[in-house]
Amino acid sequence: MADVIDDRRPSLPELRHTAAHVLAYAVQDLFPEAKPTIGPAIENGFYYDFDRESPFTPEDLERLERRMAEIVKADYPMTGRVVTRQEAIDAFAGNPYKVELARDIPDAEPITLYTIGEFTDLCRGGHADSTGAIRAFKLMSVAGAYWRGDEHNPMLQRIYGTAWHDRAELDAHLARLEEAQARDHRKLGAELDLFSIEEQAGGGLVFWHPKGAVIRGIIENFIREGLRERGYQPVVTPHVVSERLYEISGHLENFGENMFGPIEVEGQTFRLKPMNCPGHILIYESKLRSYRDLPIRYSEFGTVYRFERSGVLHGLTRVRGFTQDDAHLFCMPEQLQHEFEQTVEEARRLMDAFGFTDMQYVLSRRAEKDRTETDEIAEDAIRKALESNNLPYDVDEGGGAFYGPKLDINVHDAIGRSWQLGTVQVDFVLPARFGLKYRGSDSQDHRPVMIHRALAGSLERFFGILIEHYGGAFPAWLAPIQVVVTAISQDQNAYAREVTARLEGAGFRVTLDESNEKLGYKIRHWKTQKVPYILVTGKQEVVDGTVNVNQRGVDEKRNISVESFVEELRKTIEAKQ
| Residue 405 counted as domain residue | yes
Which CATH number is 517's domain given?
3.40.50.800
Which of 452, 453, 461, 522 is an active site residue?
452
- The verdict on 307 and 345 lying in the same domain is yes
Which of 123, 165, 273, 324 is an active site residue?
324
User: Residue 96: CB partners within 8 Å, gap ≥ 6?
Assistant: 35
- The verdict on 137 and 218 lying in the same domain is no
pLDDT of residue 220: 96
Residue 324: active-site member:
yes
**Range list of β-strands (E), 195-265:** 195-196, 207-208, 233-234, 240-242, 263-265
- Last-in-domain residue among 158, 183, 208: 183
Q: Are 388 and 341 in contact (CB under 8 A)?
A: yes
Which of 306, 366, 461, 522 is an active site residue?
306
pLDDT of residue 3: 47
Q: Give the count of domains, the chain.
A: 3
| Residue 244 counted as domain residue | no
Backbone φ and ψ for 536, nearest 5 degrees, come out as: -110, 135
CA angle centred on 398, ends 393 and 399, rounded to 5°: 60
Q: Are 463 and 478 in contact (CB under 8 A)?
A: no
CA distance 442 to 419: 46
- The verdict on 312 and 425 lying in the same domain is yes
Adjacent-strand bridge partners of 327: 299, 453
- The verdict on 278 and 136 lying in the same domain is no
| Residue 513 counted as domain residue | yes
Which of 60, 326, 427, 513 is an active site residue?
326
- The verdict on 546 and 446 lying in the same domain is no
Residue 328: active-site member:
yes
pLDDT of residue 415: 84
CA distance 339 to 330: 10
Per-residue pLDDT tens digits for 242-281: 999 999 999 998 888 899 999 999 999 999 999 999 999 9
| Residue 250 counted as domain residue | no
Give the helix ranges, DSSP H, for 302-372. Answer: 336-353
- The verdict on 429 and 493 lying in the same domain is no
Beta-sheet strand order (sheet of 268-272): 240-242, 268-272, 263-265
What angle do helix axes 210-229 and 459-470 make, rounded to 10 degrees? 110
| Residue 254 counted as domain residue | no
Residue 123: active-site member:
no
Which of 328, 365, 453, 522 is an active site residue?
328
Per-residue pLDDT tens digits for 278-287: 999 999 999 9
- The verdict on 210 and 232 lying in the same domain is yes
Residue 277: active-site member:
yes
Give pTM, 2 decimals: 0.85
pLDDT of residue 7: 47
Which CATH number is 425's domain given?
3.30.930.10
- The verdict on 382 and 320 lying in the same domain is yes
Quick one: the chain helix, strand, coil %, rounded to 5?
40, 30, 30
> Domain range for residue 384?
197-239+273-470
Which of 127, 251, 365, 406 is an active site residue?
406
Residue 306: active-site member:
yes
pLDDT of residue 1: 52
- Last-in-domain residue among 470, 495, 511: 470
- The verdict on 22 and 50 lying in the same domain is yes
| Residue 257 counted as domain residue | no
- Please identify every stretch of the chain with a pLDDT value under 50, giving residue numbers as ranges: 3-7
| Residue 189 counted as domain residue | no
pLDDT of residue 499: 96
- Last-in-domain residue among 415, 448, 470: 470
Residue 148: active-site member:
no
- The verdict on 204 and 107 lying in the same domain is no
| Residue 151 counted as domain residue | yes
CB atoms within 10 A of CB 412: 15
**Range list of β-strands (E), 11-71:** 35-36, 41-42, 45-51
Which of 138, 277, 289, 482 is an active site residue?
277
Which CATH number is 168's domain given?
3.30.980.10
Residue 326: active-site member:
yes
Per-residue pLDDT tens digits for 217-248: 999 999 999 999 999 999 999 999 999 999 99
- The verdict on 35 and 165 lying in the same domain is yes
- The verdict on 149 and 279 lying in the same domain is no
